[in-house]
């Protein structure tokens, strides 16, 4: 997969998931202040995006690229 395909496939899902996690963290008072909220959101986006890439690579190596 090329970089553009990876970004267009996984980044929107990672952003939506990070928004959900960040809203939950704000609701439960785990993060307060604008810097903490932005940092929390960015860390979630990066972690979830990398997780999607790793899971996709493992899935393709086990089941082949035809299964996705």
How many other β-carbons are positioned within 10 Å of the β-carbon of residue 25?
Answer: 17
pTM of the predicted model, to two decimals? 0.82
> What does the domain layout of the chain look like in residue ranges?
1-64
The token pair at 53 is: 């890439």
Residue 11 has pLDDT above 70, yes or no: yes
Nearest to 21 by CA among 51, 42, 50: 42
Per-residue pLDDT tens for 21-55?
999 999 999 888 999 999 999 999 999 999 999 99
Contact, 10 vs 50, CB < 8 A?
Answer: no
């Amino acid at each position: 997969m090329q970089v553009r395909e990876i970004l267009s496939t996984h980044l929107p899902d990672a952003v939506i998931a990070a928004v959900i996690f960040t809203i939950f963290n704000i609701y439960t008072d785990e993060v307060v202040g604008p810097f903490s909220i932005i940092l929390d959101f960015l860390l979630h986006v990066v972690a979830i995006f990398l997780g999607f890439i790793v899971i996709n690579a493992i899935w393709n190596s086990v089941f082949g690229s035809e299964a996705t």
